[in-house]
Protein backbone atom coordinates (compact mmCIF):
# COMPACT_ATOMS: atom_id res chain seq x y z
CA UNK A 1 0.00 0.00 0.00
CA UNK A 2 2.99 2.33 0.54
CA UNK A 3 3.43 3.26 -3.10
CA UNK A 4 -0.21 3.45 -4.13
CA UNK A 5 -1.14 6.78 -5.68
CA UNK A 6 -4.69 7.52 -6.80
CA UNK A 7 -5.58 10.29 -9.22
CA UNK A 8 -8.88 12.07 -9.79
CA UNK A 9 -9.40 14.58 -12.56
CA UNK A 10 -11.93 17.35 -13.08
CA UNK A 11 -10.48 18.55 -16.39
CA UNK A 12 -8.67 21.54 -14.86
CA UNK A 13 -6.65 19.81 -12.16
CA UNK A 14 -5.67 16.29 -11.19
CA UNK A 15 -6.04 15.48 -7.51
CA UNK A 16 -3.41 13.09 -6.22
CA UNK A 17 -4.10 11.03 -3.09
CA UNK A 18 -1.54 8.83 -1.35
CA UNK A 19 -3.42 6.50 1.02
CA UNK A 20 -0.30 5.43 2.93
CA UNK A 21 0.40 9.07 3.84
CA UNK A 22 -3.17 9.90 4.92
CA UNK A 23 -3.53 10.25 8.70
CA UNK A 24 -7.34 10.24 8.50
CA UNK A 25 -7.71 13.65 10.05
CA UNK A 26 -11.18 13.85 8.41
CA UNK A 27 -10.45 17.47 7.46
CA UNK A 28 -11.14 17.04 3.77
CA UNK A 29 -14.49 15.30 3.99
CA UNK A 30 -15.76 17.41 6.88
CA UNK A 31 -15.00 20.64 5.02
CA UNK A 32 -15.81 19.63 1.44
CA UNK A 33 -18.06 16.56 1.57
CA UNK A 34 -19.38 16.98 -1.97
CA UNK A 35 -15.85 16.23 -3.24
CA UNK A 36 -14.40 14.01 -0.49
CA UNK A 37 -16.76 11.31 0.74
CA UNK A 38 -15.20 8.12 2.14
CA UNK A 39 -18.54 6.31 1.92
CA UNK A 40 -18.50 6.54 -1.89
CA UNK A 41 -16.39 4.82 -4.53
CA UNK A 42 -14.46 6.60 -5.83
CA UNK A 43 -14.27 8.60 -2.64
CA UNK A 44 -13.04 11.73 -4.44
CA UNK A 45 -15.40 13.18 -7.05
CA UNK A 46 -14.21 16.65 -8.10
CA UNK A 47 -16.73 17.23 -10.92
CA UNK A 48 -19.19 20.03 -10.22
CA UNK A 49 -17.11 21.89 -7.64
CA UNK A 50 -15.08 25.03 -8.27
CA UNK A 51 -11.42 24.16 -8.80
CA UNK A 52 -10.28 26.96 -6.46
CA UNK A 53 -12.40 25.50 -3.66
CA UNK A 54 -10.82 22.09 -4.19
CA UNK A 55 -7.31 23.56 -4.23
CA UNK A 56 -7.97 25.45 -0.99
CA UNK A 57 -9.10 22.23 0.66
CA UNK A 58 -6.16 20.23 -0.64
CA UNK A 59 -3.79 22.86 0.77
CA UNK A 60 -5.25 22.23 4.23
CA UNK A 61 -4.51 18.51 4.22
CA UNK A 62 -2.25 18.14 7.29
CA UNK A 63 -0.39 15.06 6.11
CA UNK A 64 0.34 15.95 2.51
CA UNK A 65 -1.63 12.91 1.37
CA UNK A 66 -3.57 15.20 -0.93
CA UNK A 67 -1.87 17.22 -3.63
CA UNK A 68 -2.75 18.36 -7.12
CA UNK A 69 -1.32 19.49 -10.37
CA UNK A 70 -2.88 21.68 -13.03
CA UNK A 71 -3.70 20.03 -16.34
CA UNK A 72 -1.95 22.69 -18.36
CA UNK A 73 0.40 20.68 -20.59
CA UNK A 74 -0.17 18.16 -23.31
CA UNK A 75 1.59 14.82 -22.87
CA UNK A 76 4.34 15.62 -25.45
CA UNK A 77 4.94 18.99 -23.74
CA UNK A 78 5.17 17.27 -20.34
CA UNK A 79 7.61 14.66 -21.68
CA UNK A 80 9.80 17.38 -23.17
CA UNK A 81 9.73 19.38 -19.92
CA UNK A 82 10.71 16.27 -17.95
CA UNK A 83 13.62 15.59 -20.30
CA UNK A 84 14.91 19.16 -20.03
CA UNK A 85 14.51 19.26 -16.25
CA UNK A 86 16.17 15.85 -15.83
CA UNK A 87 19.14 16.91 -17.97
CA UNK A 88 19.52 20.15 -16.00
CA UNK A 89 19.19 18.30 -12.69
CA UNK A 90 21.86 15.76 -13.69
CA UNK A 91 24.23 18.57 -14.64
CA UNK A 92 23.61 20.38 -11.33
CA UNK A 93 24.27 17.14 -9.45
CA UNK A 94 27.57 16.65 -11.28
CA UNK A 95 28.62 20.20 -10.46
CA UNK A 96 27.69 19.62 -6.82
CA UNK A 97 29.65 16.34 -6.70
CA UNK A 98 32.71 17.86 -8.33
CA UNK A 99 32.71 20.75 -5.85
CA UNK A 100 32.19 18.52 -2.80
CA UNK A 101 34.41 15.60 -3.74
CA UNK A 102 37.51 17.53 -4.73
CA UNK A 103 39.80 14.80 -3.46
CA UNK A 104 38.21 12.20 -5.72
CA UNK A 105 40.03 11.12 -8.83
CA UNK A 106 37.58 12.28 -11.48
CA UNK A 107 37.85 10.80 -14.94
CA UNK A 108 38.15 13.97 -16.95
CA UNK A 109 37.08 12.33 -20.18
CA UNK A 110 34.02 10.70 -18.67
CA UNK A 111 31.17 11.29 -21.03
CA UNK A 112 27.91 11.60 -19.13
CA UNK A 113 25.91 12.49 -22.19
CA UNK A 114 25.11 8.81 -22.89
CA UNK A 115 23.79 8.33 -19.37
CA UNK A 116 21.75 11.53 -19.54
CA UNK A 117 20.44 10.66 -23.01
CA UNK A 118 19.50 7.13 -21.89
CA UNK A 119 17.69 8.49 -18.84
CA UNK A 120 15.76 11.13 -20.71
CA UNK A 121 14.88 8.85 -23.63
CA UNK A 122 13.41 6.26 -21.28
CA UNK A 123 11.13 8.70 -19.52
CA UNK A 124 8.57 8.72 -22.32
**Residues that bind ligand SF4 in the complex, under the rule CB under 6 A:** 22-28, 61-63, 65-66
Q: Which is nearer to ligand SF4, 58 or 116 (CB)?
A: 58
Measured between alpha carbons, how far is 80 from 85 in angstroms, rounded to an integer? 9
Minimum CB distance to ligand SF4, residue 63 (Å): 4
The nearest distance, CB 56 to ligand SF4, in angstroms, is 12
| Nearer CB in complex with ligand SF4: 21/90 | 21
Q: How crowded is residue 8: how many other Cβ atoms within 10 Å of its Cβ?
A: 19
- C-alpha to C-alpha distance for 64 and 62, rounded to whole angstroms: 6
Which residues does residue 15 pair with via DSSP β-bridges, in sequence order? 8, 68
* Structural Rg of the chain based on CA atoms: 20
* C-beta closer to ligand SF4: residue 60 or 77: 60
Amino acid sequence: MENITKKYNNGEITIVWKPAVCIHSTKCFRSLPNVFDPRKRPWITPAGTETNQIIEQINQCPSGALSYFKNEMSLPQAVEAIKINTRQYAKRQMTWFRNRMKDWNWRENADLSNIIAFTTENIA
